[in-house]
Amino acid sequence: MTTTLITGASSGLGAEMARQLAARGEDLALCARRTDRLEELRSEILAAHPGRRVALRTLDVTDPEQVPVVFEELRAELGGLDRVVVNAGLGKGAPLGTGQAAANRETATTNFLGALAQTEAAMEVFRAQRSGHLVMVSSMSAMRGMPKSMTTYAATKIGAAFLAEGLRTELHGTELGRSVDVTVLYPGYIASEMNEQVAQQTPLMVSTEKGVRAMVAAIEKRADSACVPALPWAPLSVVMKHAPLGVLKRLL
């Protein structure tokens, strides 16, 4: 029986991951700031899958002292954590130098420093257990520096991805590396509360259920990295990385 901890699980991708992983037989440790939504999600999951165990905790990932305490509480309650999905994030942002630095700082704090705190806490558990699976939810925006309101968000997402990539490099060829896996997910346009406005502007948006199904498939395969859904995002990742700047701006 696999036990998976998911942060940012009260809505969007995190909540749908919880539903789909529960359907696959996994026990869950769910964290978010909005406990009322977590309670509703737990009731929904247990109604559909009475045999599952679902533990809940309130968690603000920007509190570096709270994160390891919550992770350890959940590990103790469930008897271990096989997987941690670093999912909590914000999509706020504004063009640099336009007087809205607070929004950019909030996104940077949550998406990068929060991811760092979660990774630290997860690896403390995994090192003690001598096993585990870290899943970092990045973004297709991490493929290239993004303009305007996306600039800070994209920078945080490549930073989070590099935390995971650096960890994989450290573990490669070691005894611990044979029992601890690291996966980085690069979601494209998947419907969620964070991108409701984007949904009206692009034909590439897929439903939350379909997008998360691709994420869960990559997680279960323990892929090193995956653009999800693979089509069109795997080929588009090459374009995003290597297209001349003028071409990229027209695509965006």
Write out the catalytic residue numbers.
153
Residue for token pair 């996966």:
183
Two tokens, residue 27:
């026990």
CA distance 247 to 72: 47
Say what the alpha-carbon torsion angle 174, 176, 177, 181 is, to the nearest 10 degrees: -170
CA distance 9 to 95: 29
Contact 9, 30 (CB under 8 A): yes
Give the DSSP letter of residue 190. B
The residue type found at 55 is: A
Q: Is the peptide bond before 232 cis (omega within 30 degrees of 0)?
A: yes
CA distance 80 to 70: 13
The CA-based angle 210-59-7, given to 5 degrees, is 25
Give the DSSP letter of residue 138. -
Give the DSSP letter of residue 1. -
Contact 48, 119 (CB under 8 A): no
